Amino acid sequence: MKKRVYLQILLPVLMTLIVLSVTNYFIVLSQKDYQSRVAERLLQYSERVAGQLADAIEVAESSGIAGCTPAGINLLRTIRQKNKYIDDIGIVNGNRILCTAGWGTLRSSILLSSPPYQTPSGYLLYPVRKDNVHLRNPGTVTIKHNIAVVSPALTFANVLNVNPDFYIALAVRNGQKQLFSLGKNYLALQATSGSPFRISTRHCSQIRDLCVTTNKPDGGVMSLSWMLIFLLSLFGIITGCWMVSLIDSALEAKNSLEKRFIRAVKKKDFYIEYQPIVQASDRVVVAYEALVRWQDRYFGRVSPELFIGLASRLKLYQKLSGFVTETALDEMQEHLRRNPSLRLSLNVGDNEMNDCQFLEQLVSGCRRLKIQLQQIKLEITESSRSESGLIAAFCQRAREYGFNISLDDFGTGTANIEWLTVLDFDEIKIDRIFIANIDDPVKRALLVSVVKGLRGTGKPLVFEGVETPAQFKFIRYLDKKALIQGWFTGKPAPIAALNIQV
């Protein structure tokens, strides 16, 4: 009961977390893709700007501008007009701009902030001072030798053409100099590095000392409205409750199957089907194997493997086994009395072999119905987990009574090989795994090898799982004295449907 309560609480919570996590994952993917596209656009523009700045400086240097002369200033103005990304260009001396294309010769030179950042290419980068009246702020002054080029930050903002809800920054590759930024405070974002909602990208130029970084600390579901988050959580809770209902239904069905099985055992609501075992030479039936069946009104035909396992787990196997033995003997008694050469096969496992009264009760039942003990064949299955000594003792006692012993499912495990040396048996049943797909040369050769090896025991061989004419013909060719069991020679059927001839 406590486990069910925990399940009813934990599963909705778990599903809510899963729904939010999956939603967060896809939103993060989408937002990261968007940030990357914006960053790429800024980086490409920055490469063009940087290239134009470098070209303008190179042209100015190669023109041989001697100083702030009218001719020199006119040349600077020509260069400025040809380069749209340049806000101004001038001549410097140290850290002071003496003249520019826009202002001409300055009465008072423009003082630049110190110290500058030097790029690997030798350019000096100065931020535009806030107290200047000649250059647009914010912006960057790029200097090489005695030429200064001014590029305003507003140019970068315009090219984005968006008002991003994330932080974006243009900086040199090592991050020591930031050229442009837009969005929330950069330092505040670093504290969220481990958050599942943080989205960050970094794109660097292959030709310039430039990188664009983006950061969004409140991405994923945190970017949604509280109403959407509530609806997603509600969906997760509803899904979790639905799954709890499904699990409850499955558990109820399982418990219901157990209850119906217990009821079936009490009412003996089972029946026996008999599958014929024939001689390969003439297809004459020499034996029938008793197989228990359960047809439930609610679950339909239940697999024997399932309800036999239930019987063992619910401690009802002995009652089920007793029903099979009593019913099979009762239904087959007349046919066995009229045909002394006919055999009835009963499957026995660990429960029967560990039940010291099983053989005595079987003997008593046969004598009561006037059935000869040698007409009963006990099939020891590979699934038996009892020790070889116990199985050997059971087989010895059974044969002393007169019962026949058959080693069932030979080849499905290593136990069968050991049984050949320690058990006293009358017959070997070769498992269907050797019969299936005998058209395969490898499997056919394996079957031939197994049969040759077992012939040395001198015991009759029964081939299980024969379902096609080709399989039947091959086995008859392989061993004319073989016995055959399978759908090709006869499907399991109730006693009333059997055509048993004397």
pLDDT tens figures, 63-91: 888 789 999 999 999 999 998 888 899 99
* Cα torsion 336, 337, 338, 339: sign: positive
Q: What is the mean pLDDT of residues 106-132?
A: 85
Helix 304-313 vs helix 226-267: crossing angle, to nearest 10: 80
> Which domains does the chain possess?
2-221 (no CATH), 271-497 (3.20.20.450)
Q: How many residues does the chain have?
A: 502
Please give the residue that has the higher pLDDT: either 413 or 170: 170
Residue 343: predicted pLDDT: 96
Residue 301: predicted pLDDT: 93
Q: What is the mean pLDDT of residues 156-178?
A: 80
Residue 487: predicted pLDDT: 94
CA dist., res. 160 & res. 156, Å (int): 7
Categorize the per-residue pLDDT at 3 as very low, low, confident or very high, splitting at 50, 70 and 90. low
pTM for the model stands at 0.53
Contacts of 354 (CB under 8 A, 6+ apart): 386, 390
CA dist., res. 86 & res. 100, Å (int): 12
Q: What is the mean pLDDT of residues 180-208?
A: 74
CA dist., res. 15 & res. 470, Å (int): 54
Amino acid at 168: I
The string of DSSP letters for 278-339 reads EETTT--EEEEEEEEEEEETTTEEE-HHHHHHHHHHTT-HHHHHHHHHHHHHHHHHHHHHH-
Q: Does the pLDDT at position 293 exceed 60?
A: yes
Residue 402: predicted pLDDT: 95
Residue 186: predicted pLDDT: 47
Residue 223: predicted pLDDT: 84
Contact 86, 149 (CB under 8 A): yes
Helix 70-82 vs helix 2-62: crossing angle, to nearest 10: 140
Q: What is the mean pLDDT of residues 211-224?
A: 88
The string of DSSP letters for 212-250 reads EEEEETT-GGGGS-HHHHHHHHHHHHHHHHHHHHHHHHH
Categorize the per-residue pLDDT at 403 as very low, low, confident or very high, splitting at 50, 70 and 90. very high
Neighbours of 376 (CB within 10 A): 25
Residue 255: predicted pLDDT: 66
Residue 501: predicted pLDDT: 57
Please give the residue that has the higher pLDDT: either 379 or 457: 379
Contact 302, 296 (CB under 8 A): yes
Q: Does the pLDDT at position 189 exceed 50?
A: no
CA dist., res. 25 & res. 288, Å (int): 63
Name the DSSP letter for residue 9: H
Residue 383: predicted pLDDT: 63
Residue 9: predicted pLDDT: 78
Q: Does the pLDDT at position 336 exceed 60?
A: yes
CA dist., res. 281 & res. 477, Å (int): 9
pLDDT tens figures, 369-393: 999 999 999 998 766 667 778 888 9
Q: Does the pLDDT at position 191 exceed 50?
A: no
Contact 488, 467 (CB under 8 A): yes
For residue 380, count CB atoms less than 10 angstroms from its CB and return exposed for 0-12, middle for 13-18, buried for 19 or more. Answer: buried
Name the DSSP letter for residue 129: P
Please give the residue that has the higher pLDDT: either 113 or 475: 475
Pick left, alpha or beta for residue 283 (phi over 0 → left; psi -120 to 50 → alpha; otherwise beta). left
Q: What is the mean pLDDT of residues 318-342?
A: 95
CA dist., res. 143 & res. 124, Å (int): 5
Percentage of the chain modeled with pLDDT above 70: 91
pLDDT tens figures, 231-279: 888 888 888 888 888 877 777 766 688 888 999 999 999 999 999 999 9
**139-144 and 147-152 as β-strands: parallel, antiparallel, unpaired?**
antiparallel
| Residue found under tokens 């009358």 | 426
Mean pLDDT, the chain, rounded, equals 87
